[in-house]
Structure 1
């Protein structure tokens, strides 16, 4: 298959810098996710690999081949878009086989390859149908099969699941992950959905304003965020980010006090703590880091999300599914001091202690 390498790649649209000094190696057979909000440069980065955008500066390689200036049709990559982009007048079989027709693959070989790919994505009984006769998930599988049938060096996927409903997205995530494992094709996947990134990727590149804020495995990104942006972007519900002050290892903010932070002293500090690392205690508990009235209670099924008002913001904790607290009832909370993160509000970087 192939690796993809970016060496000091930048892309400008006039004076606007969409991607800045981008360096990344996507390993052979890796499923790498570019994750970030709209406008962060993730789709532009992928389109430069496809040849739909040209880099303003820097070099892009597939294996040892520099592909800057190479026409898209000669790059041997296959792209799956957010929209299915199927030909409405062609059957499923014809849609899947269209790339082979363009390449003048012999009919018998084409038919064999289409049948094999259709079997992989469980469309073998639908080959004679038109796209209008398919569900959204089935149409997306046709789009995937059309990319797979080419056996490209690299798959490029631009938010392919965003048009599906929640149940279908969950199903298609499983199918995509298994399919990539089976095919062993290098894949670059673009999304703003951190759940997709966490469940699909071997590694995640979290992007913000045209640069990579952090690169690592999903576990590393979740458990060891290096910047405020990454800490707040990854997690559902997101990490609690509480502005305050740290002095001699003690963080304080609007009635909340957390000690055990070494000797850290940060005038404009932000304390980060995930909802699962905050535990409810009795309202009169002496060891509570904070006592405050409940603002909201949300049962999600396997657990309960409880929010408390902390100054001008809400503090969310993940409680047991049988949590019985009511709105406006005072409760105490205990923060797991060994699971908190401290960030410098000025530099946005994490402070180790």
Structure 2
């Protein structure tokens, strides 16, 4: 199939710098997710691969072919959009086969490939239907099949699941992951949904303000965030981020004093700790890190999310599903000090301690 490489790529729209000094190698057969908030440059990056935008400077390669200036139709990539972009007057079969028709693939071969792809996405019984007769998930599968039928070098997917309801998104995530594994096609997927990124990707490139803040496997991104932005963006609920300062290994903030932070001394510090590394202290546990009033209690099914007041902010922790605390009730809290992170409040970079 194909690898995709960015070398020192910049993209400007007038005076606005959308992508800055972008360097990335996407491996052959890899499922890479570009993750970040709206306006971070992820869709612009994908559109540069597709040829829908041209890089202001720098080089983009598919394998060893430099594709700057190459027309989209000659790049051999297939794109699946957020909107299904189906032809409403064509049947499912004709929608899937349209890329083959315009390439003048013989009818018999076209029919064979359409049926093969339709079986893969479980649409073989719906080939005579029009798009208006399909559900949202079925329409998205038609859009996927239309991309797959071409057997391109690279798949580009721009938030293809965002128009689906929660249940369908979960189902389609599983289908996409299995399909990419089966087809072994290099896939670049754009999303702002970190659950999609964590469940689909071989690697995730977390983008912010046109640059990659961190590149790694989902486990690395979650367990070892290198910047304050990544720490706060990845995780649901997000990491607790508490500003303060560290002196001789003791972190001090409004409402919290936490020892055991190595031997660090650092002002303008942000302490990060994930909700699963904070828990309600039982009476038998003795020492607690703090006592705070409950602000809210949310049962999610498998556990309970508890928010407490900590000075002028909230801290969220995961409790057992049987937790039955009441709002304004004071509870003892223990923090796993070996699972906290420190970030420089000015540079936003991780502080190792």
* TM-score of the superposed pair, with normalisation by structure 2: 0.99
The C-alpha deviation readout for 1:224-276, integer Å capped at 9, x for no partner, is 00000000000000000001111111101122121111111111110000000
Name 1:6's counterpart in structure 2: 6
Give 1:22 shift.
Answer: 0.1
Contact 1:115–1:124 under 8 Å retained in 2 = yes
The C-alpha deviation readout for 1:275-333, integer Å capped at 9, x for no partner, is 00001014796421110111100000000000001122110000000011111110010
Cα distance in 2, alignment partners of residues 113 and 290 from structure 1: 64
Cα distance in 2, alignment partners of residues 107 and 305 from structure 1: 57
Count of residues paired in the alignment: 353
Cα distance in 1, alignment partners of residues 83 and 299 from structure 2: 34
Cα distance in 2, alignment partners of residues 322 and 112 from structure 1: 56
RMSD over aligned Cα atoms: 0.9
Contact 1:93–1:127 under 8 Å retained in 2 = yes
Name 2:244's counterpart in structure 1: 244
The C-alpha deviation readout for 1:13-33, integer Å capped at 9, x for no partner, is 000000000000000000000
Cα distance in 2, alignment partners of residues 15 and 324 from structure 1: 55
Name 1:109's counterpart in structure 2: 109
Cα distance in 2, alignment partners of residues 285 and 100 from structure 1: 67
Name 2:318's counterpart in structure 1: 318
The range that moved more, 250-259 or 117-126, is 250-259
> Is residue 2:63 matched to residue 1:90?
no
Name 1:271's counterpart in structure 2: 271
Structure 1 runs of 4+ with >2 Å offset: 282-286
Name 1:336's counterpart in structure 2: 336
SS of 2:52's equivalent in the other structure is: coil
* TM-score of the superposed pair, with normalisation by structure 1: 0.99
The C-alpha deviation readout for 1:79-117, integer Å capped at 9, x for no partner, is 000000000000000000000000000000000000000
Name 1:31's counterpart in structure 2: 31
Name 1:165's counterpart in structure 2: 165
Name 1:73's counterpart in structure 2: 73
Cα distance in 1, alignment partners of residues 312 and 63 from structure 2: 51
5 Å-filtered alignment, 1:281-320, equals 281-282=281-282, 286-320=286-320
SS of 1:195's equivalent in the other structure is: helix
Cα distance in 2, alignment partners of residues 191 and 94 from structure 1: 29
SS of 1:60's equivalent in the other structure is: strand
Name 1:201's counterpart in structure 2: 201
The C-alpha deviation readout for 1:43-73, integer Å capped at 9, x for no partner, is 0000000000000000000000000000000
Cα distance in 2, alignment partners of residues 298 and 335 from structure 1: 20
Cα distance in 1, alignment partners of residues 22 and 248 from structure 2: 38
